[in-house]
Structure 1
Amino acid sequence: MTLKMKSDQQRRILVVDDDRKLCGLIRDYLTPLGYEVAMKHTGAAGLEAALAGNFDAVLLDVMMPEMDGFEMLKELRKSSNVPVLMLTAMGEEADRIVGLEIGADDYLPKTFSTRELLARLRAVMRRSVLTVSEAATQETEYEVNGLQLNEGTHQVHLDGEQLTLTALEFAILASLMRSRGRVKSREQLLDDVSDRKFDVFDRSIDVHMSALRKKLGDNAAAPRFIRTIRGIGYQFIVSEGGSET
């Protein structure tokens, strides 16, 4: 079975931002394009809506009172892989990296143009659909050293416990496990998992790798699963003592 991406007219978007004017501008821009836009103005209300609603993507502000965007995203990622595009007024790279590390699919500064917003939004939704679609058609399962990945069910288990990965983290892990034992460069991984152009020095692949390793409980200095090959890329370790399918 092949999954198809919905048209814009079928898309449901949740905007979580305490800036009501900006939310209204985003709604007014996306609605004529066929999007259904819901708005929440606190992190707590946004989290409740994101978990309860069948949304195709979430536009999430970083700076909100009480529960900020980072905290909401952490809670959301415990049970949902919905694509999340962070909206941030912060310019420092460290702030953007934090969002990616805890599960954001992409980020967008609040100085964005409407065309950039639409392009980024479509990209994170398309990436998510393609990841699930490819998994559903392949029905391939890998098991190495207690780590089990099923591309058909889009599930990952570690020592019998199911892990919650973002669509991009799953795609990275699947790419490495398919090529287990072989080194994959950052450029090869980007080609495998992304549909947008990355600069050569784009750090996002390393950030997502770091987040993936944390979920695997993997120590980069003494890895169980993913080894860094300095100056080249990454390698999924094939353990002689582990089972492999």
Structure 2
Amino acid sequence: MSQRPHLLLVEDEPAIRTPLVRYLERDGYRVTACGDAAAAREALAGFAFHAAILDIMLPGEDGLSLARSIREGSDLPILFLSARAEDVDRIIGLEMGADDYLTKPFNPRELTARLKAILRRSHHEPATEKPRDTCYRFAGFTLDPDRQALSRGDEPIALTGGDYALLLAMVERAGRPLSREQLLDLTKGREADPFDRAVDNAVMRLRRKLGAQGAEIIRTVHGTGYSFAARVEKD
């Protein structure tokens, strides 16, 4: 399976976005491209990324606000693009938590060189969420992310690393239909093969561990994938 770095590109100008996607894909990256912050938030909720390239000047919510939101809950590397070259803008971007800043117009080769440096520093792994104290409760179960543990009342339920990653990805996106590609990306950081049964097998195992309620908690969404249907509470 491919392990190409997955990039989030947020750029509202198609004349920049489209050729940049082609260039990055030719250079070996996977790219999810968005035209505004709202679409970017949807993408961030559904996929695991290695780095984000954010235009600062976006319609509606700007790139600085989006970066601030990302940085509050994730260590995702961020590279800003901006048409403004003033030092103060560069400083603000870096103070927001960006890892690098590139002014337009730019040479795509310089962009990829900077990306490679960012990915080396982040060890080329999908970004992880920051530690949290939240426990998730659903249908009589408790999922504790800090201990990576699942229990029903006082009874612990053994989970493999893959079981835990899949369950957490679904619990955090309860009610949202998730494709097999998204679930593979969120749990393994790789692209899905159209005939890959890994997710189906993993869901089957997880349903068994959830017992008689398993098929009701994790529902099949025909033509899409799966959805976590149980009501989730945090504490």
Q: Please, what TM-score do these two structures have when normalized by structure 2?
A: 0.51
Aligned length: 131
- CA separation of 1:14/1:130 partners in 2, compared to 1, >3 Å: closer, same or farther? closer
Partner of 1:40: 34
SS at 1:10 equivalent: coil
Cα-Cα RMSD:
2.7
Amino acid at match of 2:47: G
Alignment counterpart, residue 78 of structure 1, candidates 59, 67, 72: 72
Partner of 1:20: 14
Alignment counterpart, residue 124 of structure 1, candidates 105, 114, 118: 118
2:74 & 2:91 partners in 1: Cα distance?
20
Deviation at 1:130, TM superposition (A): 7.7
Partner of 1:181: none
- CA separation of 1:45/1:122 partners in 2, compared to 1, >3 Å: closer, same or farther? same
- CA separation of 1:12/1:81 partners in 2, compared to 1, >3 Å: closer, same or farther? same
Larger Rg: 2
SS at 1:77 equivalent: helix
Partner of 1:92: 86
Identity of aligned residues (%): 41
Amino acid at match of 2:61: M
Deviation at 1:156, TM superposition (A): 10
Deviations 1:105-159 (A, max 9, x none): 1111122111101100111111111899xxxxxxxxxxxxxxxxxxxxx8699xx
2:96 & 2:34 partners in 1: Cα distance?
21
Is 2:23 the partner of 1:29? yes
Whether the 8 Å CA contact 2:9–2:33 is kept in 1: the answer is yes
Partner of 1:107: 101
2:125 & 2:8 partners in 1: Cα distance?
21
Deviations 1:182-226 (A, max 9, x none): xxxxxxxxxxxxxxxxxxxxxxxxxxxxxxxxxxxxxxxxxxxxx
Amino acid at match of 2:21: R
2:6 & 2:20 partners in 1: Cα distance?
13
Whether the 8 Å CA contact 1:44–1:72 is kept in 2: the answer is no
In structure 1, the gaps of 5 or more residues are: 1-6, 133-153, 163-245
Q: Please, what TM-score do these two structures have when normalized by structure 1?
A: 0.49
- CA separation of 1:130/1:28 partners in 2, compared to 1, >3 Å: closer, same or farther? closer
- CA separation of 1:131/1:43 partners in 2, compared to 1, >3 Å: closer, same or farther? closer
Amino acid at match of 2:46: A
